[in-house]
Structure 1
Amino acid sequence: MADNSAYAQTFDLVDTDDDGRISAEELRDLMERLGEPVTEERAAEAVRALDSSGDGLISLDEFARFMSERTA
């Protein structure tokens, strides 16, 4: 299990509506601010790829798991 606290600050920057989940829209907005715009469809695909619970959103647990796998 990933250490969520290591990724909580970054997660909070993306979770702009503070609901504890990252939506495709929030991900798309982040990518646009970073100068790497993505389509709505691509953002939705990325969320589906990380969403292990099937709720259509990325939780902190799902985000931390993804981030820890990428840095391992």
Structure 2
Amino acid sequence: MPDGRPLLAEDALLGMLFPFWQLVIGLLVVLALGAAAYRLAVRGPSRMTTALLVTGGAVVGIALLSYLAGSY
């Protein structure tokens, strides 16, 4: 990195494959989230409400930790 630009891959082949692997990982994450959401929806509204409360609490907690970590 003598010119200050970030080095994404060492050679040309990995440089071409790097975005492809990001796409594959992203698609697998979306597939896993879809499967989890389907299973949760099948279980019923009671489980869905609990899951939404837990997820919302986790999002707020992570946002709060990020804010606190950024302020120090």
TM-score w.r.t. structure 1 length? Answer: 0.25
Relative contact order (C-alpha < 8 Å, sep 6+): which is higher? 1
Structure with greater proportional strand content:
1
Structure with greater proportional helix content:
2
TM-score w.r.t. structure 2 length? Answer: 0.25
Higher-Rg member (1/2): 2
